[in-house]
């Protein structure tokens, strides 16, 4: 049987996409006359997917060598469709409970020196717990910015998109390696001790202001090499792949966290997609569960409608709705089992005055990838920060 494949553009396109399949198909004797095309198909340059794979492998190998020359990963090899569906069943690993989580592999500089100390999952214990979480960390700009500002606090980014997570992981490895190299160079040229992670120190409290003085501008993804020692050497940041809408309480115990960041969340504009938003009555209850009283939840968005949505779900009386609208909304939420009146009792908005001196606000407004995009496009940025109030007195 001969396959009469006309060599028109669509097929050429197909062969470009899968040149191996093309080779297999065209190898039939009946297609001898197409040998010249076969040779052409075989000599195609590697397609985009192959190039990405090759780049990533080379990057991983370079990082493992911990050479001073290693470069920041290039974002274009890690791009992925903008919105992941949080309701689909991604293949995700998650711990049975926070006590089963392997944090030791994320924060090797903070592992407890006593090898016999293991958690319920059989993993080495750390000298401190993760305290700060960046939900939907994207390409990791916030993590890179926060790391030197909170050098003694363990910070984790959580991201659902696999390629994006691979990029952040690579970025952190490079930051650690470069910073270690800078530390070595500095120690050999000066006698003054450079800052290093201090695992044994007490963790920063949720309410104490972060040390603003120790806030060097973090190296951006595009910048090349770290040349001076960085407080903490990026040993205090890591990232993992998960769907926070489903698994947040699997990672963190009650009142474990001091800060949660939600920066430029996917807006899910259409009303029927609002259920995919990362702020909702059910999720806000989970945030209140993992955040300790006094802890802060930071939000920033460039979408005014989403900002209003956030205010509506955290504040008892929203400034954007009149009483009648609020009553109508409450009745509809009640009907749909979406009522958040109880949850709102656990939050209060932090005043702009108080936020003025908080370096975290500057970092989330200027150093995340999305914030930079918004700045370039001269868009607006809406910030709202909420404090987790003390638990109410439960009726006896």
Ligand X SMILES: C[S@@+](CC[C@H](N)C(=O)[O-])C[C@H]1O[C@@H](n2cnc3c(N)ncnc32)[C@H](O)[C@@H]1O
- Give the binding site for ligand X (CB under 6 A): 84, 86, 136-138, 141, 158-161, 164, 243-245, 263-266, 278, 368-370
Nearer to ligand X, 110 or 251 (CB): 251
Cα–Cα distance for residue pair 318/326, rounded to 1 Å:
8
Q: Are 206 and 294 in contact (CB under 8 A)?
A: yes
Mapping DSSP to helix (H, G, I), strand (E, B) and coil, where does residue 159 land?
strand
Q: H-helix or E-strand containing 262?
A: strand 257-263
The torsion defined by the Cα of 106, 129, 132 and 276, in degrees rounded to 10, comes to 80
Tell me: is residue 370 an annotated ligand-binding position: yes
Q: How near is the Cβ of 375 to ligand X at its closest, in Å?
A: 12
Tell me: is residue 54 an annotated ligand-binding position: no
Tell me: is residue 47 an annotated ligand-binding position: no
Secondary structure E strands in 75-150: 130-135
Tell me: is residue 166 an annotated ligand-binding position: no
Q: How near is the Cβ of 283 to ligand X at its closest, in Å?
A: 9
Nearer to ligand X, 70 or 133 (CB): 133
Q: How near is the Cβ of 141 to ligand X at its closest, in Å?
A: 6
Tell me: is residue 380 an annotated ligand-binding position: no
Cα–Cα distance for residue pair 325/331, rounded to 1 Å:
10
Neighbours of 27 (CB within 10 A): 12
Q: How near is the Cβ of 65 to ligand X at its closest, in Å?
A: 29
Cα–Cα distance for residue pair 318/311, rounded to 1 Å:
6
Tell me: is residue 185 an annotated ligand-binding position: no
Q: Are 301 and 267 in contact (CB under 8 A)?
A: yes
Instruction: Read off φ and ψ for residue 206, nearest 5 degrees.
Output: -65, -30
Q: Which of 152, 266, 302, 340 is catalytic?
A: 266
**Is-catalytic flag, 266?**
yes
Nearer to ligand X, 22 or 361 (CB): 361
Nearer to ligand X, 35 or 273 (CB): 273
Tell me: is residue 294 an annotated ligand-binding position: no
140: left (phi over 0), alpha (psi -120 to 50) or beta: left
Cα–Cα distance for residue pair 142/296, rounded to 1 Å:
16
Nearest to 80 by CA among 144, 134, 161: 161
Q: How near is the Cβ of 120 to ligand X at its closest, in Å?
A: 24
Q: Which residue in this structure is represented by tokens 């920033």?
A: 300
Q: How near is the Cβ of 158 to ligand X at its closest, in Å?
A: 5
Nearer to ligand X, 148 or 265 (CB): 265
Q: Are 172 and 239 in contact (CB under 8 A)?
A: yes
Nearer to ligand X, 141 or 197 (CB): 141
Q: Which residue in this structure is represented by tokens 């930051």?
A: 175
Tell me: is residue 60 an annotated ligand-binding position: no
Supply the DSSP string of 190-241, one letter for each residue: -SSPPP---TTSPPPPSSSPP-TTS-PPPPPTT-----S--GGGGTTEEEEE
Extract the annotated binding site for S-adenosyl-L-methionine: 136, 159-160, 243-244, 263, 368-370
For the annotated catalytic residues, the residue numbers are: 266
Binding residues: 136, 159-160, 243-244, 263, 368-370
């Amino acid at each position: 049987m001969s396959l009469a494949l006309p060599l028109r553009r669509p097929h050429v396109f197909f062969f470009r996409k899968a040149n191996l399949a093309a080779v297999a198909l065209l190898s039939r004797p009946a297609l001898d006359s197409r040998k010249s095309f076969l040779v052409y198909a075989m000599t195609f340059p590697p397609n985009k997917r192959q190039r990405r794979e090759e780049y990533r492998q080379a990057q991983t190998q370079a990082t493992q060598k911990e050479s001073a020359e290693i470069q920041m990963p290039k974002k274009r090899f890690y791009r992925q469709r903008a919105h992941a569906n949080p309701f689909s069943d991604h293949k995700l690993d998650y711990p049975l409970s926070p006590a089963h989580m392997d944090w030791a592999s994320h924060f090797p500089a903070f592992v407890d020196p006593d090898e016999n100390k293991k958690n319920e999952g059989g993993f080495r214990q750390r000298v401190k717990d993760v305290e700060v979480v960046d939900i939907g960390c994207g390409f990791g700009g916030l993590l890179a910015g926060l790391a030197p500002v909170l050098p003694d606090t363990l910070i984790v980014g959580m991201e659902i998109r696999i390629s994006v997570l691979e990029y952040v992981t690579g970025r952190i490895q490079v930051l650690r390696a470069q910073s270690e190299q800078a530390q070595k160079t500095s120690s050999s040229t000066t006698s003054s001790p450079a800052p290093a992670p201090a695992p044994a120190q007490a963790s920063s409290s949720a309410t104490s202001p972060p040390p603003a003085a120790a806030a060097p501008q973090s190296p951006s993804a595009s910048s090349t090499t770290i040349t001076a020692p960085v407080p903490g050497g990026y040993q205090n940041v890591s990232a993992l792949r998960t769907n926070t809408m489903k698994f947040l309480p699997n990672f963190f115990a009650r009142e474990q966290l001091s800060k949660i960041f939600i920066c430029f969340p996917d807006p899910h504009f259409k009303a029927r997609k609002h259920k995919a938003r990362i702020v909702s009555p059910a999720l806000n209850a989970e945030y209140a569960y993992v955040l300790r009283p006094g802890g802060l939840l930071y939000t920033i968005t460039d979408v005014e409608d989403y900002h209003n949505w956030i205010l509506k779900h955290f504040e008892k009386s929203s400034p954007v709705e009149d009483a009648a609208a609020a009553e109508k909304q409450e009745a509809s939420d009640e009907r749909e089992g979406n009522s958040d009146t109880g949850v709102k009792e656990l939050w209060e908005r932090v005043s702009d005055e108080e936020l003025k001196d908080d370096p975290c606000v500057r970092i989330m407004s200027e150093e995340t990838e999305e914030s930079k995009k918004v700045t370039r496009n001269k868009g607006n940025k809406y910030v709202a920060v909420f404090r987790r109030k003390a638990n109410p007195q439960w009726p006896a």
